[in-house]
Chains A and B, each alone.
Chain A
Amino acid sequence: MAIKLDPVIHVVSRLRIMTVLSKIGTQEQLSFEKLRTMLGMTSGNLSVHLTKLEDAGYVTMFKTFERRKPVTYVSVTSQGQAAFQLYLTNLKELLGED
């Protein structure tokens, strides 16, 4: 059976986003700005990819206010974490690694 890599994750930007968010875990949230700085992406680009991941149920976005300024926090969902782990497993299998 052919190994299929999750098309939602298998894009450079979304793979990088999922790597960062999965690393910090489902109990942690990163602000949009912090994530943008860490990945060196533009706000527009990050926003587009986060929306796609959110539509797939892989990330959740929380909008709040801090010092009267709107702030968005992002975190990976359990479903997203599981999808990312499966993606990595499939990837390694595809490459013939354990």
Chain B
Amino acid sequence: MSAQKTKELHTMKNEEGRQIQSEHSETVQVNGNSYPSDDSVITDPAHALGLVEAENRKLDALFASSGQNLYVTWGLVWVVAYLVLAISSLRNVGGPSGLAFTIYGLLLLAGVVVSIVCGVKSVHGRRGQSKVRGTVYGWSWCLAFVSGMFMCTGLVQRLNLSDDRIAILYNCIAVLIVGILYMSGSILDAFDLPMFLGGLLMLLMGMFMPFLSGTVGFFTMAVIGGGSFLLLAALVFRGRRGMGSTHTRR
């Protein structure tokens, strides 16, 4: 985000419109384009428009970066955590081992911590509606998961479910929560189509989860669930590169 300044011989007009040349004038670099120094009156309207477009691209890329960090974090957490459960369930007849569930829990906890840090960083230095929306949305994730996991625990105890069905129940609730929150998150600001599609994919996956038990269910969560987060990260990254590379220097 830094705007580099370079001194160079520069020709411009002063406020009366007279051509002046100054060897002490500086240029400001924004997204690889150079513009007259900070204090200069802009002589070329095309430069002014280029400057506006360059700043807009920088801002779009900046705002997209926090979402990308979250997608990467949760993509990696889901892939690794559910692969651990899947591999463990392959090795143990009665389902994943206690160690596998401990690693799974620790990875989810790490994901929550990273998400909180990313959330706090993204709203640092800002006040207003976006900060309120971001904070409420962040808490929605936290509360939805706490509520969902309590529901699962209660159902497990009341219905006396087998290990296989417990895994299915937890997977279904996790996918449902992520799907709904993704879809609602997609309309927090300007409509975010990749995020909406990510939520839709989760809900579609949730419809099939009750029929995917044990190891297959864990693998599905790792590959399709984790994969969809990583795919979203890749889409955002591509979008950010597009924002940074479409220079319209005039």
Binding site for B on A (CB under 8 A): 5, 7, 10-13, 15-16, 19-20, 23-25, 27-31, 33-35, 37-41, 45, 49, 73, 75, 88, 91-92, 94-95, 97
Q: Can you give 16 contacting A-B residue pairs, CB < 8 Å?
A: A11-B39, A11-B40, A12-B39, A12-B51, A13-B39, A16-B28, A19-B59, A20-B55, A23-B55, A24-B130, A33-B125, A34-B126, A37-B1, A38-B1, A40-B3, A73-B127
Q: Once the chains bind, are A15 and B126 in contact (CB under 8 Å)? A: no
A94 and B45 contact, Cβ closer than 8 Å, known pairs A16-B55, A88-B52: yes
- Bound-state CA distance A38–B45 (Å) is 23
- Bound-state CA distance A33–B15 (Å) is 30
A38 and B62 contact, Cβ closer than 8 Å, known pairs A28-B127, A94-B45, A95-B45: yes
Q: Which range contains the number of B residues in contact with the other chain? A: 20 to 34
A75 and B39 contact, Cβ closer than 8 Å, known pairs A12-B28, A20-B59, A40-B2: no
A34 and B55 contact, Cβ closer than 8 Å, known pairs A11-B41, A28-B130, A40-B3: no
Binding site for A on B (CB under 8 A): 1-4, 15, 28, 30, 35-42, 45-46, 48-49, 51-52, 55-56, 58-59, 62, 124-130, 250
- Bound-state CA distance A15–B3 (Å) is 14
Of B2, B35, B42, B128, the contact of A10 (CB 8 Å cutoff): B42
How would you classify the secondary structure of chain A's contact residues: helix, strand, loop or mixed? helix
**Chain B neighbourhood of A24, CB < 8 A:** 59, 126, 128, 130
Q: How far is the CB of B117 from chain A (nearest CB, A)?
A: 17
Apart from A15-B48, A19-B55, A33-B125, what 9 extra A-B contacts exist at CB < 8 Å? A5-B48, A11-B39, A15-B42, A19-B59, A28-B126, A28-B128, A34-B124, A34-B126, A88-B52
